[in-house]
Homo-oligomer: A and B are copies of this chain.
Amino acid sequence: MPSVKALVFDTFGTVVDWRTSVAREVKALAKRKGLTVDGARFADSWRAGYGPGMNRVRSGELPWTRLDGLHRMTLDRILIDFGIVGLTEAETDALNRAWHRLQPWPDAVGGLTRLKKKFIIAPLSNGNISLMTDLAKHSGLPWDCILGAELVRHYKPDREVYQSAADILDLKPAEVMMVAAHLYDLRAAKDMGLRTAFVARPLEYGPDGKPDLDPDSSVDIAAKDFNDLASQLGA
């Protein structure tokens, strides 16, 4: 087996804590409007639109649409569901960009900084390039470049996204390791010949969530966080 040269990262849930961040932003906005909103439930409802939105693109019902656009479609619907009405376009757009300002898990920046010394590191996310760029700038994520869905106009777990990571970096698939908290993502990466690292994020979906907690046969390395991953990979 060739040695690993690049690590590519799922981002929402694996690198950043979307649920807490989105909940905080919507709660703050609601408060400014004199409303009360269950921020965590709002975040969960928003995220629940993610898979179906991508499926509409995958099926051809929608043309290629960036994640910002899919987020906005869901947002427009759930604002009504949650009784948040009368926002200006600028306020709605700013809330939609809450996904550009998610907080990283506590080990993420330190672990990535270590890993960057030994490997190329890049997100391989369904987030669009501007979202990933803003997120990196907001949180100091030290990516070497930004890969992912927008470069090939396919959403994970479509095979094209995993293939593109090796292809664009001019590496063999086995020289690229996918890092994710989600087994479906690692299984799809493994099927394309990438190596895989699993990092559990027990609180991604909140205290009552059902995250993946244990590696399965698709996983080459299991680490408890990014610092542990760096140590296991000698970085």
Contact = CB atoms under 8 A, between A and B. Distances in A.
Interface stretch (A17-25, A34-42, A142-150, A226-234): A142-150
Given A144-B136, A145-B145, A130 B168 contact: yes
Contacts of A120: 133, 137
Contacts of A136: 144-145
A169 interface: yes
A129 interface: yes
Interface centre among A120, A128, A136, A146 (most CB of B within 10 A): A146
Contacts of A212: none
A147 to B, nearest CB: 8
Contact of A168 (B122, B129, B144, B170): B129
A145 B170 contact: no
A199 to B, nearest CB: 23
How many chain A residues sit at the interface, stated as a range, is 10 to 19
A205 B32 CA distance: 58
A177 interface: no
A68 B133 contact: no
A110 to B, nearest CB: 18
Interface in A88-145: 120, 122, 128-130, 132-133, 136-137, 143-145
Given A128-B170, A129-B169, A145-B145, 14 more contacts: A120-B133, A120-B137, A129-B168, A130-B168, A130-B170, A132-B145, A133-B144, A133-B145, A133-B169, A136-B144, A137-B144, A143-B145, A145-B146, A151-B151
25 contacts: A68-B170, A120-B133, A120-B137, A122-B133, A128-B168, A128-B170, A129-B145, A129-B168, A129-B169, A130-B168, A130-B169, A130-B170, A132-B145, A133-B144, A133-B145, A133-B169, A136-B144, A136-B145, A137-B144, A143-B145, A145-B145, A145-B146, A146-B146, A150-B168, A151-B151
